Amino acid sequence: MNPRLMQRQRGFTLLELLLAVAIIALLAGLLSPALQTAKQKTYSLMCASNLRQIGLSAMLYAGEHNLTLPTIEPWPGDPVYDASAGAQTILGALAAYGVTERVLQCPADLKGPDYYAKEGSSYQWVPMASGQKLTGSSNLGAMAGQAALAKIFLAFDYTTVHALTYNVIFADGHVGPAN
């Protein structure tokens, strides 16, 4: 066997190594927007799931309170209701019906403006729904006669309120985008 061939060990040249790194960087750059879009979609689905839990809890609450929704403070950091109204936070009103601190945390909000830290929830209750009956002569019930409950908002996520579409829980219990 030739001693020169035995002595020489074949490895990567600097050019080959730089080319491999460049190809990997290019592929990562191409995949990054797709991964970001998938991540945002996942966050939106998680937020919608949390809203669904809030809506189901509100319906359970109403079922035990003569079809009346709870009075919930929409802006705990800057209250809309005075103390005599008996308004509670979403957690305070619906904890007994399955709402937990985790349910009130939208991942997109925690990564962005973090309304959870400011208001105790990533979701805002619509003040018009507070203390209203789902049927009958109340404001919400009267509106339901004019517009289906499927079009009346109960709560929405703070995070995407300025976007073109955002997640909403409707008075009939379904979650969907509002635009």
The 3-state DSSP class for residue 141 equals helix
Q: Is the pLDDT of residue 46 over 50?
A: yes
- C-alpha–C-alpha distance, residues 57 and 111, integer Å: 26
**pLDDT of 163:** 58
Q: Is the pLDDT of residue 162 over 80?
A: no
Rg (CA), the chain: 26
- C-alpha–C-alpha distance, residues 58 and 99, integer Å: 9
Q: Is the pLDDT of residue 143 over 60?
A: no
pTM over 0.85: no
Q: Check the CA dihedral 127-131-135-138 and report its sign.
A: negative
What H or E segment, with its residue span, contains residue 154? strand 153-157
- Residue 24, token pair as written in the block: 């990997």
User: What digits encode the pLDDT tens for the residues 101-128?
Assistant: 999 998 888 877 888 998 999 999 998 8
- Residue 155, token pair as written in the block: 């709560």
**pLDDT of 166:** 75
- Residue 171, token pair as written in the block: 């008075």
Choose the weakest-confidence range: 58-62, 89-93, 155-159: 155-159
Give the pLDDT mean for 9-26. Answer: 84
Do 53 and 90 contact (CB within 8 A), yes or no? Answer: no
Annotated domain spans of the chain? 13-178
Give the pLDDT mean for 44-72. Answer: 91
Do 136 and 21 contact (CB within 8 A), yes or no? Answer: no
